[in-house]
Every structure is written in C-alpha cells, then in structure tokens.
C-alpha cells in the first residue's frame, strides 16, 4: 500500500504525537481524587499518552522516509518491528535504534519498557484457551485491570500505576526521545519538535502545572 | 545534434547502432547543462582485447572523458549516473590540489545597500570568474527593520587562492570576518570524539570502519559520520543524522549528530545526493578523520569516487 501525500500524513502524525505529549504532561500532577474510597492518580494517562506519543512520532518518522510504510499497523515499533510491514522498513528502524544506542544505550530500553505497558491480550497457548485462565496472566498495562504481583491482587491502572514509579519514568523516556528527534534529520520533520520543546515546559516536577 | 562516432566505431555497425540509440538519453541530459556541448564516441580495446567505448564531452568551458564497457550501455540507470558525472566534470573540471575555503561573516544586521556593495566588490576581484565562488547564506527580512537584512551563517566559498582578496572585500564593505575557532579546533574535543568512537567499537555497537567529522564550521553541532559494515543497509541513498545533546559526551558542543551508514549506502547517497554537505566537504578536504587516524588516507582509498565533483 502506498500513501499519497505521505509527508503530510507524517507531519499530522507527528503533531498528534506532540499533542499526546502535552496530554501526558498535563496529567503528570498530583490529584486528590478517590474512587470508592481508594485514591486514584492520572499516572496511567501519563504512561499511555507517552507511549502513544512515541508510537506516532516513530511512525511519522518512518512514513516521512517511505510512503509504503503503513502507520495503521502495530503499536509497539521498538519492541516488534511492526508485523505486516514491508521488509524494507525494518532496516530504517534498525538504523534509528542503532543510532540511538550509540550515545544513550538506556533510551531504547526505556522506550521498550514504555511499550510493554501498552494493553495487549494475555498470551495463552492455543490448546489451553478452553481452560479457565488465572488472573495472574493479565500483565500490567495502562488501560485494563491487571494482576499486581506486589499486591497479589487485581488492580485498576488508575490505582496500580504510580505517578513517581511509572509516570515520571515514562515522561522522561518520551522527553529524551523528543529531544533526539528534534535534533535529527530530516529537519522538515525534526525542527518543529525542537521548537515544541522550546515553547512547552517539559519538566517532570509533578507539583508544577505547565502554563 | 546527435553524438559523433569515430571511424572504428562506425565500422562496428551493431555496436554503433547501440551507441546511437543512447543519444535519446545522452543528448537531452547534455543540452540541459550546455547548449554548445558536443559528444564524441570512440572505440578501442583494453589489454585483454575487450571492447572499450570512450565518450568525450566538450564545450567551451572544458572537456571530460570516460570509458564504458559495451554492456554498461544496457543499464539505463548506470548510464545516466555516469553521464551526470561526466557532465559535472566537463562543467567543473577536477582540479586536484585546489582546496576550497569558506570565508565566514559574523552574523549581522546589514543595510540593503551594504549587501549590494559586497556583491559588487566581490565581482571586481581579478579573475573572480575562476574562483568558483559560491555563497552560503541565510539572509532574512526583518519587518521591524525594513531597511536591513539579517545575515546569519553567511559564508563565501572560493578556491583557496581567492580567499585573501575575498576577506579583504568583506572587511572593506564593513562586515566582520568570523574568526572564532571551529569546534573541532577546540582543546580536548577531538580526543573526546575519538573516545566516543572507540567506545562504540568496544561496547557492542556497530563497529565503525571509518569515522569522520564534517560540516566543521558548525559552531554548535558536531556532525559525526560512522561507516560500518554492521549498520543495516537501506539502499535508498538517505543520509540522515540522529541528534543528541553533547552534554557530558564532548566539550563545547551543544549537540552531536551521528550519521550511521553502511558503506554501500554511502556510495548510493553520493550518487543520488552528491550536493550533500558531506560530499562537498570530502571533495574539499574539509573533514576531520578520526578512524583510522590517518588524515583520511584509508577513507580516500576505500571511496575514491567520493572525491569527484
């Protein structure tokens, strides 16, 4: 499949990714809300929006370079080289990953951690799908109740995903990635990311509210 | 006008026909660059008695020639690429040993007439037509100062022997020549880059076969090219840098941009994007070679084509 005006689509993806980044930053704050007596945070929003931001920015980056890249497929480009894409897109992402590793080896690791929190169905072997499944197989994620190993119980992400443990870490991973893309080629794609970072407060100080 | 064929080539009617058929590609390409150009084909044999076709292009600016194996004519893309090289050489002949120099100006607000004065003054330099003068500039109109232009990163590139009169012209016209050192000239920076490249060799990253810096005049960003057989091969001729903060990695620089590329992709990038700053800098010996630390000797041997205009 070839996309017409693929660069326009890439820019639109980038811009939506930046909007997701703003949503993540706006959610990175302490709140005093309770759900049936239990405190909740917006940390799960920070993590999910950070992950979605990285996904859109990466897809935009790849789409800018090739109009045969299909951004509608896959959600975790750094973890899986996006199934169903043409093989020629894998080297482009491999080169990006290798380049990121050249200066900051933790960056790709953190992006993969971020992707690991995207919701996904539990892995169950085909021959065992008819059996009753234990709740423990539902992995930690930002959208659906999951099994918390620490609490040994099922938790909702609004209660289990923590602001300092997860939110700050996720937002830092996103911010570092944005900084790299903002300094990278092609300038038509990256320069406005750099401008975005100059104009929006991106601190991870959770008591500061960005204006 | 069709290309001309030498007598020996005319005698080989089948080959001559094949060569004539190439006029469909050759002549439009040639006339796009020079209305007065002519093309001559000749036929000879190499030392193993194989046919060698020689194409000579001439116009009033110069001439250039290159050899083709007959089978090379059947690959249209390759043929086009070779002809482009040849036209480039005809228009701007290779001048081994002639280095290019950038005379850089300090950023400034300049009245409109001052800029015009500089243009006129440059035109008065003796034999300036031979200097291959090229302006690199960002001249912006600033609405708040309607009678001025804002000059940023303004530089005049000329053959080395014209650098001094160009500098004089710049100063005479009231501009200041930028004299602050390039990043690579600053103390400890080269060593830090060598360490960075060495670290890549040691810690499981794609092992660089060559590492060099280009765009040396950039006072904020280090542009580091790493050529590695372990880099993925894209085949698209792209030459993209990935940028990082230089804080804690190399001193003085604001950021560092790494261009990781496979050797084959570097050749492809040269074919499709030879005006990229990297290739200009390689041609003009305006790079800093880090690996191997041999002033670029091994790199030039490995990539002889990249020095061609």
Weakest mean pLDDT among A5-9, A155-159, B161-165, B233-237: B233-237
- Quick one: A143 exposed, middle or buried, by C-beta within 10 A (0-12, 13-18, 19+)? middle
**Would you say residue B95 has pLDDT above 60?**
no
Contacts of A107 in chain B (CB under 8 A): none
User: Helices H, strands E: what count in chain A?
Assistant: 7, 4
Measured distance CA(A52)–CA(A47) in Å, rounded = 9
DSSP letter for each residue of B1-41: -PPEE-HHHHHSHHHHHHHHHTHHHHHHHHHHH-TT-EEEE
Low-confidence residues in chain A, pLDDT < 70: 81-88, 208-211
Contacts of A184 in chain B (CB under 8 A): 240-243, 257
Q: pLDDT tens-digit profile of B249-258?
A: 899 999 999 9
Measured distance CA(B240)–CA(A178) in Å, rounded = 16
Alpha-carbon distance A6 to nearest alpha carbon in chain B (angstroms): 17
Of A102, A172, A187, which to mutate for an interface test with B (greatest number of B Cβ within 10 Å)? A102
Q: Is B234 part of the contact surface with chain A (CB cutoff 8 Å)?
A: yes
B201 three-state secondary structure: helix
Alpha-carbon distance B293 to nearest alpha carbon in chain A (angstroms): 20
Cβ–Cβ gap B231/A98 under 8 Å: yes
pLDDT tier at B98, thresholds 50, 70, 90:
low
Q: Is A122 part of the contact surface with chain B (CB cutoff 8 Å)?
A: no
Q: Which residues pair with B258 in a beta bridge?
A: B224, B242
Q: Which residue has the higher pLDDT, B278 or B8?
A: B278
Give B134-141 contacts, CB < 8 A, sequence gap 24+: B134/B158, B136/B102, B139/B115
Range among A135-144, B16-25, B87-96 rated most confident: A135-144
CB B131 within 8 A of CB B145: no
Contacts of A101 in chain B (CB under 8 A): 205
- Residue A146, pLDDT score: 96
Structure tokens at B258: 């790494």
B135 three-state secondary structure: strand
**At A10, which helix (H) or strand (E)?**
helix A6-27
Single out the residue of A197, A180, A158 nearest to residue A47, CA to CA.
A158
Q: Which residue has the higher pLDDT, A169 or B237?
A: A169
Mean pLDDT score of chain B: 86
* Residue B27, CB-side half-sphere exposure with 13 Å CA sphere: 13
Of A183, A189, A191, A197, which to mutate for an interface test with B (greatest number of B Cβ within 10 Å)? A183
Which residue do the tokens 């050759």 mark?
A: B26
**Would you say residue B61 has pLDDT above 60?**
no
Q: What ranges in B92-162 are assigned the alpha helix state H?
A: 112-123
Q: Which residue has the higher pLDDT, B225 or B10?
A: B225
Q: pLDDT tens-digit profile of A124-146?
A: 888 888 899 999 999 999 999 99
pLDDT tier at B74, thresholds 50, 70, 90:
confident
- Quick one: A46 exposed, middle or buried, by C-beta within 10 A (0-12, 13-18, 19+)? buried
Q: pLDDT tens-digit profile of A90-100?
A: 788 888 888 99
- Residue B251, pLDDT score: 93
Residue extents of the structural domains in chain A: 6-120+136-199
Structure tokens at B249: 């990695």
User: Helices H, strands E: what count in chain B?
Assistant: 10, 13
Cβ–Cβ gap A182/B243 under 8 Å: yes
Assembly ipTM: 0.82
CB B244 within 8 A of CB B255: yes
pTM over 0.80: no
CA dist B268 → A210, B98, B234, B264, B306 (Å): 46, 26, 10, 6, 11
pLDDT tier at B290, thresholds 50, 70, 90:
very high
**Would you say residue B60 has pLDDT above 70?**
no
Of A7, A99, A178, which to mutate for an interface test with B (greatest number of B Cβ within 10 Å)? A99
């Amino acid at each position: 499949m070839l996309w017409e005006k693929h660069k326009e689509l890439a820019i639109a993806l980038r811009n939506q990714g930046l909007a997701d980044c703003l949503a993540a930053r706006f959610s990175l704050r302490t709140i005093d809300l309770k759900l049936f007596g239990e405190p909740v945070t917006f940390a799960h929003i920070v993590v999910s929006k950070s992950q979605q931001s990285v996904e859109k920015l990466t897809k935009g980056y790849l789409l800018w370079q090739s109009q045969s890249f299909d951004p509608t497929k896959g959600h975790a480009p750094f973890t899986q080289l996006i199934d169903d894409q043409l093989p020629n897109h894998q080297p482009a992402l491999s080169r990006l990953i290798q380049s990121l590793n050249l200066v900051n080896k933790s960056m790709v690791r953190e992006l993969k951690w971020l992707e690991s929190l995207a919701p996904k169905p539990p892995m169950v072997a085909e021959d065992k799908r008819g059996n009753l499944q234990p709740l423990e197989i539902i992995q930690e994620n930002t959208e659906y109740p999951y099994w918390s190993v620490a609490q040994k119980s099922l938790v909702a992400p609004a209660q289990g995903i923590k602001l300092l443990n997860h939110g700050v870490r996720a937002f830092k991973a996103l911010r570092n990635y944005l900084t790299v893309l903002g300094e990278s080629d092609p300038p038509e794609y990256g320069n406005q990311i750099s401008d975005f970072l100059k104009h929006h407060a991106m601190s991870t100080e959770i008591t500061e509210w960005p204006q | 006008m069709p290309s001309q064929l030498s007598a020996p080539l005319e005698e080989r009617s089948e080959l001559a026909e094949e060569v004539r058929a190439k006029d469909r590609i050759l002549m439009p390409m040639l006339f796009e660059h020079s209305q007065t150009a002519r093309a001559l084909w000749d036929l000879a044999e190499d030392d193993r008695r194989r046919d060698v076709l020689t194409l000579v292009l001439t116009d009033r600016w110069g001439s250039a020639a290159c050899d083709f194996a007959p089978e090379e004519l059947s690959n249209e893309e390759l043929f086009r690429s070779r002809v482009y090289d040849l036209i480039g050489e005809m228009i701007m002949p290779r001048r081994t040993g002639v280095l290019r120099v950038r005379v850089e100006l300090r950023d400034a607000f300049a009245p409109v007439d001052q800029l015009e004065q500089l243009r006129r003054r440059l035109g008065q330099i003796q034999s300036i037509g031979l200097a291959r003068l090229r302006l690199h500039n960002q001249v912006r109109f600033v609405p708040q100062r309607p009678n001025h232009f804002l000059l940023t990163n303004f530089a005049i590139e000329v053959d080395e022997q014209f650098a001094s009169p160009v500098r004089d012209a710049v100063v005479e016209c009231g501009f200041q020549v930028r004299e602050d050192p390039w990043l690579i000239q600053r103390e400890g920076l080269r060593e830090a880059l060598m360490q960075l490249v060495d670290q890549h060799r040691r810690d499981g990253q794609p092992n660089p076969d060559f590492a060099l810096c280009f765009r040396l005049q950039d006072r904020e960003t280090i542009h580091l090219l790493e050529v590695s057989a372990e880099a993925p091969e894209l085949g698209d001729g792209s030459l993209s840098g990935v940028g990082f903060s230089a804080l804690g990695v190399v001193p003085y620089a604001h950021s560092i941009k790494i261009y990781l590329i496979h050797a084959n992709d570097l050749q492809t990038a040269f074919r499709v994007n030879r005006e990229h700053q990297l290739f200009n800098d390689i041609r003009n010996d305006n790079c800093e070679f880090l690996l191997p630390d041999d002033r670029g000797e091994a790199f030039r041997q490995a990539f002889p084509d990249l020095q061609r205009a």
